[in-house]
Chains A and B, each alone.
Chain A
Amino acid sequence: MNALRLMVSLAFAALLAGCMNLPYNDPLATYHEVKPTSILVVPVVNESVDVQAPSSVLTTLPKLLGEKGYYVFPVNTVKTILEFEGLYEPAEIHQLATSDLASWFGADAVLYVTIHEWTSRYVVISTTTEVDFEYRIVDKNGVELWTARENLSYTPQNESQGGGMASLLSSAITAAVERAAPNYLPLTREANAQAFYYGYTPLPPGPYSHYYEQYYQQLAEEKAAAEAEQ
């Protein structure tokens, strides 16, 4: 459904570009040239006081990026290895040279996420959480490929998340998730989706995506058409 919207908006943008005779400008030119295949997600920097926030962000990134068609390095394995090397602070990890991180793990690119804000406000009936996340994808040579900033105000739906989830999990885990405030994961899923699918520059599909060939072919056609007009 999400990929559908992406393709439609991409096609529409192609049409618009053709109609308006704009000089050809690809905001993701470097990304399209590098075409990263594997993405290393490092632990999340947390500038808020919510201690579970970084775990929540980290755990909802692999599925999104994997479904976009990338090989995503196992986030807990990466975190564990970094800790074994004495790197417990995400801020410290974010300061390391990207080329070092990328070569240690064998990654094409590194995704850095920073939580600038995570604040819950208790309005009469419900809780509204304001979040501010920043995402950066940097390639193994230290070149920034893609960025996004999401300011989101999230209020959970009244209905519970139960049903399908309960059938997959053991009862112990179901209970644990409900204890740990069940809104963390839906919130970060929504924020991540906003950043990677619905922003001004959605993340291009990766090589395992069904849309990969189509996307780059369309891009080539757009570029050829725009250059022909100039």
Chain B
Amino acid sequence: MTRILWLILPALVLAGCESTQLYDWGSYEEDLFVYYTEPSEQDAVLADHVAFLDKVMARGQTPAPGLLAEAGTFYLQAGNTEQALEYYQLEYDTWPESRPLMGSLIENLGGQ
């Protein structure tokens, strides 16, 4: 009995489910790994990451959790506080769960 169901169930589930990814992560994993292991490439990683996020937002999609904040931190480490604030604010606006953290980062950096 259960053997038959084991054969039918996948078909039933397949019929009912959507196998779409929730978000586009681009090359975030590779970018971040390179950011850590090849510090000389940090500028290239920042540029790549920001360009990718611009594309995602231009498509009207929600960037994956944390990716906007990561852009902010890349900018912060590069000495660009203004852009860092902009991206922390974007993360704050996009993800309610990020607000305590983003809120205090923005405040500490002298934003509103």
Which residues of chain A have a CB within 8 Å of any CB of chain B?
A: 1, 3-4, 7-8, 11-12, 15-16, 19, 37-38, 52, 55-56, 58-60, 62-63, 66-67, 69-77, 80-81, 105-106, 165, 168-170, 172-173, 176-177, 179-180, 184-185, 189, 208-211
Could you name 10 residue pairs across A and B whose Cβ atoms are closer than 8 Å?
A: A7-B13, A8-B13, A52-B37, A60-B29, A62-B65, A66-B25, A69-B22, A77-B73, A105-B101, A173-B31
Q: Is the CB of A184 within 8 A of B33?
A: yes
Query: How many B residues, CB 8 Å from partner?
Result: 53
Number of A-B residue pairs having CB atoms within 8 Å of each other in the complex: 150
Among residues of B, the one whose C-beta sits closest to the C-beta of A67 is: B22
Among residues of B, the one whose C-beta sits closest to the C-beta of A168 is: B27
Among residues of B, the one whose C-beta sits closest to the C-beta of A6 is: B13
Judge if B58 is at the interface, Cβ distance under 8 Å. Answer: no
Residues on A with beta carbons closer than 8 Å to the beta carbon of B91: 74
Complex CA–CA separation, A81 to B104 (angstroms): 11
Complex CA–CA separation, A134 to B36 (angstroms): 22
Complex CA–CA separation, A210 to B17 (angstroms): 9
Q: Is the CB of B37 within 8 A of A75?
A: no
Q: Is the CB of B37 within 8 A of A55?
A: yes
